[in-house]
Structure formats: structure tokens, C-alpha cells
Amino acid sequence: MDLDGCIKALSHLDLDTKPVSVKAKSRDFFWYSPVLKARLDHVTADFVVSPTSEAEVIEVLKTCYAHDVPVTARGTGTGNYGQAMPLAGGCVLNLANMNKVKEIRPGSVVVEPGAVLRDLDAACKGDSGQELRMFSSTWATATIGGFVAGGSGGVGGIRWGSLRDPGNIIRLRVVTMEAEPQIQEITGEDLTRVAHAYGTNGIITELEMPLTAAYDWVGMFVTFPDFGEALRYAYDLASQDGILLKLISVFEPPVAHDYFLRVKPHVTPDQTVLAIMVAPQSMAGFETFTARHAGAEVIYRSDQTQWTKAPGHVFEYGWNHTTLRAMKIDPSITYLQTSYGTEDPVAKVLEARAAFSPECLQHIEVTRSGGRVNMAGLTLVKFTTEERLDAIVAEHEAMGIPNFNPHRYTLEEGGRQATDARQLEFKRQVDPKGLLNPGKMISWDDPDWGYETMYAWPGLRKAAE
Amino acid sequence: MDLDGCIKALSHLDLDTKPVSVKAKSRDFFWYSPVLKARLDHVTADFVVSPTSEAEVIEVLKTCYAHDVPVTARGTGTGNYGQAMPLAGGCVLNLANMNKVKEIRPGSVVVEPGAVLRDLDAACKGDSGQELRMFSSTWATATIGGFVAGGSGGVGGIRWGSLRDPGNIIRLRVVTMEAEPQIQEITGEDLTRVAHAYGTNGIITELEMPLTAAYDWVGMFVTFPDFGEALRYAYDLASQDGILLKLISVFEPPVAHDYFLRVKPHVTPDQTVLAIMVAPQSMAGFETFTARHAGAEVIYRSDQTQWTKAPGHVFEYGWNHTTLRAMKIDPSITYLQTSYGTEDPVAKVLEARAAFSPECLQHIEVTRSGGRVNMAGLTLVKFTTEERLDAIVAEHEAMGIPNFNPHRYTLEEGGRQATDARQLEFKRQVDPKGLLNPGKMISWDDPDWGYETMYAWPGLRKAAE
């Protein structure tokens, strides 16, 4: 790669080569994983460029292509799986300044990738009482482009399923990594080639996303004396077609007591806690339903309860914020991402708890999949060794509990360890030199890889001595 | 009953005693059933009173109570099951003039019972881009009070389930039938005592209903060459969490060809037809999903297609408008209301078709129940005799397909033939003389009734010679 030539050619843009700030912009939340922490901590790009328009994106890609410089796209770096880590150095394409909300319609929005989820929701709510269908728990800082390029779903998934479900992304506009970068409008089945591809298959410059009605959601914490009872309540509540929900998270004890500092004064170590978001007009229905469950106690609701130390948004206790809060108290904690599915997931969660507690503590997110209530696990794990972590993953798989392993940095290993032929074929067209976020797609680098061990990309830049 | 005294005491109100207009206001759509037609055609009240305020409702009830005059509440009389037929004569309480929309909030509306569904939706859409979660296919003429007092669900049920699900009615304000009528605010579990009680348990004077975002729904007709394939498509489409739907109706051939005059030129007698409503922002997802089904052909979409004779709202081909259209072409047609449930309903529908077609033709409404996709049947039946109709119902029950028999005028027979103890207990409190819509609650009249035959209320006024 001709780094100096590339930097020089792009020097009229907002471009940064200062090692400290470049390194800061070369990191995401890969450090949730001790495995990735050990391997990627040194990773840094050579420069960061921050375009403010699609025209500048095209210029950056064309120039990097000409100089054989790898390009790793970045929002605000709140993702996991090391997905925004520039393994081979080169250019970090920081899209945070491309953040315009371009058009808000009834039911949809057209937006640039760098818009922060919170700002986007505020714009949609202010315009017409609308908001995104779903967002990550990093809503306050994450970008819509990063969410779509690296996320799979999140808060709101209890109503709308996951990002990969038809209808949850309407259109993506992407720029290809070619001698003459092309603009492609991606819709329909083709969306899976670009969404959740970590920026390996083109750079997203515009998104069209569905919206839904915004409400002043009531955030609650609910306790149960029994974990299984709490799980069944969560499943049944999510099955209530007339109650509009945005979140149900279930935390095995003592997660809430030990790791949620502002909740701790209000719960005991043996209580199961749920974080729940309900639309205001559904609170009457919620109360009716909840009163049928003798064990349920609502200890906090955002529209009524005053705690001396306010807990903030309850969704900032769910999804990967649970892991974050636990790690802050106990740095040895990491996590798994599992699926308990839609066929009696409560029984599967209880089985996993029986097998792994307290080394693993269950943290369940209730979502929808294929029209049915689904349970996803963001299980907390007390990390000891990589071997033990791998064994825990393998034991889950053996129990019929699939993993989306967050201790791997490739798309395939973070997915279901299979080549996505359409994604690979698309990469051949849009990134013929393989310069977009290199090292993240095994099938591109090593089509015969067998997945027996963790993939270590040979191109990974070595740490400086 | 002291009819003359009652009429005199209420004569300062909007009161009508003219036989022709009183008879017109004493009829609902009971005649969908040849069984009810044979028994209730002569039924008429003695007078109609049309209050414009809750105070007038109270005055009417107090006066009728004092004079032992039965009171049957009425919206616009578009219900079935004879639910608004004044079996013992007396007073028809016409609530159509109590139609004020009192307050529209984010997610809910407070409204008087006589508001027509279409007008209510227009008010909510105009105010803040909102609309009712669900409505009957008689949206253009039916009232919200009648829908709640007599309905179980309808268009929108594919997203929100049925009216009885917690959250789909927030609050009902009712006036009791006592010497001094009381006002009760009904919420929570108590709602089931008043909703779908045909006005036997108090007169609704105000409703608080949840709203959802209003969209310019795209109405479509889709054809399939194969009925089973169409059913599976309907089930799978309804299972798409990311595609916002309001309606999926499936019509066994040749229903659409034979009974939908404006659709007929565009379909063949052997095509299965579906009526579907999709939110505009979900059309891209809908198209993606539908393209996976080789047999599917979209022959009409309201936002694009120009037929010489426009078909109007597609929901006016679904629910009980299907039956209405069929009866207009073939007066011998009547219908069943069945449930195919959530456990492999496609197989159950196919089983029923194999057993009964062409005497019965399948008309399926896809809804939600307990968080899962549900199929309801509004099966078209070529009526021959009452004995054969009863046998068809019994054969369905024997196949594990429950009926909500629309050829009966009591709550129990139109339901699951069981006493609702809470509803009965509530009636003892709020209608001690049993004057509200008499003859509709078997458990009030004959607690030991065994349901072997059709209940014939002894108090039913006889036809004039």
C-alpha cells in the first residue's frame, strides 16, 4: 500500500494522522471479549478520514483503491465483535459527520449513516411523533449506519423482530470499492449482502428505515421471587397481542443486585429482576395482566417512581448494557450471545441455568422470530481461560443452544460458521481488491477454512515491539 | 310494564313511536342467519328514544326501570346474532346521537358510543395521524359502542388480537339499570363483564380505546392457483414481524369469482384470492416476501391499479362483508364463525375444506391469539335446513373446530355455551330487574339450561296474528 501517497491525495479533506487520536478512532467495544482484547488491543489504523458527503466518500474510496489502502468504516465505535477494528491498518473511514436526516415520511425516514440513534429519534419525534422501530442499548451514542452494518436487532425487537426480517430495513445506498466507485441502491433480498456485513461489502451513505409511532414509554423494573416464574411471565406478557411493548429483559439473580448500582438498594440478591418498557396507553392492560401473577412486584416505573438516584432509561440495563454494567463491577465478566428460540424457550433457559450457574448467569432478551415469542441470551460469563470459554460455547451448542460467538472477529464465526455465498459473490463485485475491512470475511480469505479453531487472519498487522 | 306511563314521562326527549320507523330501529343484521330470520323477523320495540347526553341516558334508564320497560341499546344495528333485537319489545335506546369524540391523546381516544368508526378514525387521523387498532368491516356505518358491546375483533386483529385481549379496551363508562342509575368506570378484568355483553350489563356512555399510527394502507388482491399454498403464504406472511399488516383474508374458490362482482373480471373460478392490507413503508418488505412465492400474483393494489370499476376498500370484502356479498348473489347462503386456532391451523382448514366443500366454502381471517398467528373461519354455508346446519356445526365441533354459532341469539350459545359467572354476578348488581336486553343471557333466565337444543326465550314477544 502507498500510504503516504494516499494521505497526500486526501489531505484536503478532514484527515487525521495523529497516533493517539487515530488509535482512539481505531477501537470499538471489542474489549467486551477477553479473547479479542488479547489479540486486537494493538490494532490501529494509519489515518482517519471524516467525509461530510457522499462525494467525499467516493473520493476517499477511489483514492484508497488506487493506493491499495484498506478502508474500515466506522460510526461511533460502540459495536462488539471487533467489527470496526482496522486489522490491516490503513484508513478508518469515520462517517460520524455524515449525519443528516434527509426526509421524514409517515412510517419511514431517509438518513445518513452517521446520525446518532438518539438524535434521529428526536428528529422523527419532533417532526411527526415517530421513532425507529428498534435500536441498540447504545442509543445515546451509536449511529444508525453502525447499527445496520453491525447490529442484528435490539430494543423494540419484542415487537418487530430483527433487522434481517423483511421490512425492517427498506433501502441502503452504498458506494463500492472500485477504480471508479459506483453507487448502488440496495433493496429486497439484496439487503442481506450489505446489512450486518461490517462494512465489507460497500460503504453505506444513506439508509431508508421504517418508523413507528413514538410514545413516552413507561420504563419499569419488576421483581419475582423465582427465576422460572419470571421467565414464564415474560413469555406470556410478550404473547399479549393487545399490550404494546418495547422491551422485556430478564436478569437471573444476583445480576441486578450485584451489577446495577442504582437498582441494588431496592432488590435482594435472590430476586429475579425484569426491565420492561410499555406504551402509556397499554399500562392499564399491563397492570391487568401483571395482577394475575402473584409473584410480580413493580418496584420502579419511570412515570411515577422517584428514587433518590434515578436509574435512567431502563433499556440501558438491557441488551449489551447489562454486560457493560457487570464488567464495570467485575472486570472478569464477559458474555455469550445465544438463541433459545421459539419452541419452549423457557425450558431451554432453565436447562442452561441448571448447567452453568453461577459461572454463567442468564440474561434474557425477549424478542420475536418468525411471528413467535423468542428468547435470546446475552449470558454473563465469569471468564477464566479461553479453553473454558470455548468449552462453554461448545456445551451450549451440544445442548441445542446456538451461539453467535462474540469472541471472534469474522462474520462467519460471529454468525453460524457458514459461508454466505451471496455476500461473498457481492464482495467480488463491489470490492475486487478486498480492501474493505479486511480480515472479517473468512470465505474471502480462506474458502476452505474448517472452523475447528479460532480463525487468525494472516494479514493482521503485528503489534509494534 | 307501564308502557304508556313510560312514554309520557320521556316525551320531552327525542322519542319515536311510529311503528314503521320503530321497527326499522328494532332490527340489526340478524337476517344473516336463516334460523334467526325465522324466529325474530317480527320483533319490534314499542318506542325508540335517542338521548344526546349521559344525563338523558340516566333519565331514560331510571324511567324505564320505574315502569318495568325493557331497554335494548343500539348503535346503528349492523351486528349479527340478533344482539340488538328487542325480544320483549319496550324501549330501543338509540345511542347514535351520542357521538362526540371527547379527547384524543397519543395512543388513546375518549369517545361517546354512537361515534361511527369511520368518523372516529377520521377525527383521530386529522388530529394526530392516529386510528383505531381494529374495526369491523362495517367501519363505514357501525358505531364504536356497538363494536365493543357486540364485536370480538376484526380488521387489525392480525396485529392486535381481539377486543378481549388486555389493552384493546382501556376503559368503559357505563350507567346501571337501577331505581337510581349509577355510573361505573370499568377497567381491567371487569371489562369482560361489559364488553361483548350485548348491552345486558349496563349502558356504555363513554369509551377509552387505544389508538395506533394511521397509514395510507395499501389494499391488495392476491391470487394463488392453489388454496393450500395460499393458506401457507397467508400464515407465513402474518408471521413476518417486520411487515406491518392490517388484514389478510383468504377466500376459497370460487368465492371471489362468484360473489365479488368487481373482482370477478380479474380472476378465474379456480383461483384462490386473498385480500391484504399493508402499511406503505412495509410494501418493500411485502414485495420481497411475496416474490419468494412463485404462485402469488398481485392483481390489484390500491395505490397503483386502476380497474374500470374500482373495488373500494379491500376490507369490505373481508370479515362479514364476505358473507354479505355472497348473500346478495345467492340468498341461500349463510355462514359459520369458527376457530382454527394457532396450532397448525392451515392443516385444520384443509381438513374442513375436504370435509365440507362445496356445501361450505372456506373464508379465513388471519388474526393473532396468545402471541401467535391464528386463523378464524367465517365459513360460507349453502343453507338447506336447520337440521343440516346444526349437523354441520356439530361435525365441526367433533373435528376439534370450535364454533361461535351465529344462528343463536343468546350470549352463551354465540360463545362457548358456558355460564360466565362474573358476567352473571355483575348483572345481578347492575340490572336487578333483568330489563337490559332481556332474553340474551341464558344463565340469567334458566341457570340449568343444558344446551341440547336451541334456546327459545319464553319471554320472546309473539308475532302479531
Regions of chain B with pLDDT less than 50: none
* C-alpha cell belonging to residue B104: 384524543
Please indicate, yes or no, whether residues B117 and B180 belong to a single structural domain of this protein: yes
In angstroms, what CA-CA distances link A62 with A22, A140, A182, A431? 21, 33, 10, 11
Q: How confident is the model at residue A133 (pLDDT cuts 50, 70, 90)?
A: very high
Which of B343, B370, B398 finishes a domain? B398
- pLDDT for the residue B419: 83
Please indicate, yes or no, whether residues B149 and B225 belong to a single structural domain of this protein: no
- Is the Cβ of B13 closer than 8 Å to some Cβ of chain A? no
* C-alpha cell belonging to residue A349: 433457559
Please, which contacts does B227-232 make with residues 24 or more away whose CB atoms are closer than 8 Å? B227/B252, B227/B253, B227/B272, B227/B350, B227/B353, B227/B362, B228/B346, B228/B350, B229/B272, B229/B293, B229/B295, B230/B272, B230/B274, B230/B295, B231/B346, B231/B349, B231/B350, B231/B364, B231/B375, B232/B346
Mutate: best of A172, A233, A241, A286, partner B, most B CBs <10 A: A241
Do B214 and B125 form a contact (C-beta atoms < 8 A)?
yes
For residue A352, give how far its alpha carbon lies from the nearest alpha carbon of chain B (Å): 24
Chain B residue closest in CA terms to A105: B281
Please state whether the peptide bond connecting residue B358 to the residue before it is cis, i.e. omega within 30 degrees of 0.
yes
What CATH number has the domain bearing residue B53?
3.30.43.10
Do A369 and B242 form a contact (C-beta atoms < 8 A)?
no
The minimal CB distance from A165 to the residues B167, B210, B240 is found for B240
- HSE-CB for B17 with a 13 A CA cutoff: 9
- pLDDT for the residue A463: 82
Please indicate, yes or no, whether residues A276 and A371 belong to a single structural domain of this protein: yes
Distance between CA atoms of B33 and B39, rounded to whole angstroms? 10
Residue A250 φ/ψ, nearest 5 degrees? -120, 130
Could you tell me what percent of chain A has a pLDDT over 70?
100
Cβ contact, residue pair B240, A213, below 8 Å: no
Q: DSSP string of B129-185?
A: SEEES-B-TTTTT-BHHHHHHH----BTHHHH--TTSTTS--EEEEE--SSS--EEE
- pLDDT for the residue B418: 85
Average pLDDT for residues A138-151, to the nearest whole number?
97
What CATH number has the domain bearing residue A199?
3.30.465.10
- pLDDT for the residue B377: 98
The minimal CB distance from B108 to the residues A168, A189, A281 is found for A281
- pLDDT for the residue B417: 85
- Is the Cβ of B58 closer than 8 Å to some Cβ of chain A? no
Q: Is residue B412 part of a domain?
A: no
- Is the Cβ of B165 closer than 8 Å to some Cβ of chain A? yes
Q: Count CB neighbours of B385 within 10 A.
A: 9
Residue A285 φ/ψ, nearest 5 degrees? -65, -40
- Is the Cβ of B126 closer than 8 Å to some Cβ of chain A? no
In A137-294, DSSP assigns E strands to 171-175, 183-186, 203-213, 218-224, 245-251, 272-278
CA dihedral B269, B271, B277, B282 (to 10 degrees): -150
| B-chain residues near A106 (CB < 8 A) | 129, 213, 215-216, 280-281
Please indicate, yes or no, whether residues A198 and A251 belong to a single structural domain of this protein: no
Distance between CA atoms of B136 and B100, rounded to whole angstroms? 20
Do A166 and B243 form a contact (C-beta atoms < 8 A)?
yes
Residue B321 φ/ψ, nearest 5 degrees? -70, -25
Do A365 and A251 form a contact (C-beta atoms < 8 A)?
no
| B-chain residues near A281 (CB < 8 A) | 105-108, 167, 170, 210-211
Q: Is residue A417 part of a domain?
A: no
Residue B345 φ/ψ, nearest 5 degrees? -65, -30
Do B364 and B234 form a contact (C-beta atoms < 8 A)?
yes
Instruction: Indicate the DSSP class of residue A101.
Output: E
Cβ contact, residue pair B238, A371, below 8 Å: yes
Q: Which residues, listed in sequence order, are joined to residue B37 by a DSSP beta bridge?
A: none
Q: Which residues, listed in sequence order, are joined to residue B377 by a DSSP beta bridge?
A: B338, B364
- pLDDT for the residue A304: 96
Q: What is the tally of structural domains in chain B? A: 3
**Domain range holding A85?**
3-96
DSSP H or E segment with residue B381: strand B380-382
Q: Is residue A436 part of a domain?
A: no
Instruction: Indicate whether A464 pLDDT > 90.
Output: no
Distance between CA atoms of B44 and B88, rounded to whole angstroms? 8
Average pLDDT for residues A307-315, to the nearest whole number?
97
Cβ contact, residue pair A165, B373, below 8 Å: no
Distance between CA atoms of B291 and B281, rounded to whole angstroms? 17
Q: How confident is the model at residue A465 (pLDDT cuts 50, 70, 90)?
A: low
Distance between CA atoms of B433 and B97, rounded to whole angstroms? 27
Please indicate, yes or no, whether residues A115 and A235 belong to a single structural domain of this protein: no
Q: How confident is the model at residue A420 (pLDDT cuts 50, 70, 90)?
A: confident
Q: Which of residues 220-249 of A touch B (CB under 8 A)?
A: 238-244
Q: Is residue B145 part of a domain?
A: yes
B345-356 helix and B227-238 helix, angle to the nearest 10 degrees? 150
For residue A209, give how far its alpha carbon lies from the nearest alpha carbon of chain B (Å): 9
Q: How confident is the model at residue A245 (pLDDT cuts 50, 70, 90)?
A: very high
What CATH number has the domain bearing residue A288?
3.40.462.40
10 Å CB burial of residue A126 (0-12, 13-18, 19+) is: exposed
For residue B73, give how far its alpha carbon lies from the nearest alpha carbon of chain A (Å): 27
- Is the Cβ of B124 closer than 8 Å to some Cβ of chain A? no
Q: Is residue A432 part of a domain?
A: no
- pLDDT for the residue B465: 56
Instruction: Indicate the DSSP class of residue B30.
Output: G
Please indicate, yes or no, whether residues B309 and B297 belong to a single structural domain of this protein: yes
Please indicate, yes or no, whether residues B139 and B226 belong to a single structural domain of this protein: no
Please indicate, yes or no, whether residues A176 and A109 belong to a single structural domain of this protein: yes
Cβ contact, residue pair A168, B291, below 8 Å: no
Q: How confident is the model at residue A239 (pLDDT cuts 50, 70, 90)?
A: very high
Which of A377, A398, A419 finishes a domain? A398
Q: Is residue B451 part of a domain?
A: no
Please indicate, yes or no, whether residues A385 and A268 belong to a single structural domain of this protein: yes
Tell me the torsion sign for CA atoms B427, B433, B437, B443. Answer: positive
Please indicate, yes or no, whether residues A266 and A119 belong to a single structural domain of this protein: no
| A-chain residues near B165 (CB < 8 A) | 240-243, 285
Q: Is residue A463 part of a domain?
A: no
Q: What is the pLDDT of residues A270-284, one digit of tens each?
A: 999 999 999 999 999
Q: What is the pLDDT of residues B182-229, one digit of tens each?
A: 999 999 999 999 999 999 999 999 999 999 999 999 999 999 999 999
Chain B residue closest in CA terms to A370: B239
Closest by CA position to B364, among listed B388, B351, B380? B380
Q: What is the pLDDT of residues A349-395, one digit of tens each?
A: 999 999 999 999 999 999 999 999 999 999 999 999 999 999 999 99
Cβ contact, residue pair B242, A129, below 8 Å: no
Q: What is the CA radius of gyration of chain B?
A: 22
Q: What is the pLDDT of residues A85-122, one digit of tens each?
A: 999 999 999 999 999 999 999 999 999 999 999 999 99
The minimal CB distance from A166 to the residues B170, B280, B289 is found for B289
Please indicate, yes or no, whether residues B280 and B393 belong to a single structural domain of this protein: yes
Distance between CA atoms of B364 and B350, rounded to whole angstroms? 11
Q: What is the DSSP pairing of strand B272-278 with strand B218-224?
A: antiparallel
Q: In what order do the strands lie in the sheet with B360-361?
A: B333-335, B380-382, B360-361
Residue type present at position A212? T
For residue B217, give how far its alpha carbon lies from the nearest alpha carbon of chain A (Å): 11
Q: Which of residues 365-424 of A touch B (CB under 8 A)?
A: 368-373
Mutate: best of B281, B286, B292, B366, partner A, most A CBs <10 A: B281
What average pLDDT is seen over chain A? 97
Please indicate, yes or no, whether residues A351 and A365 belong to a single structural domain of this protein: yes
| B-chain residues near A127 (CB < 8 A) | none
Distance between CA atoms of B375 and A33, rounded to whole angstroms? 45
Q: Is residue B120 part of a domain?
A: yes
For residue A250, give how far its alpha carbon lies from the nearest alpha carbon of chain B (Å): 19
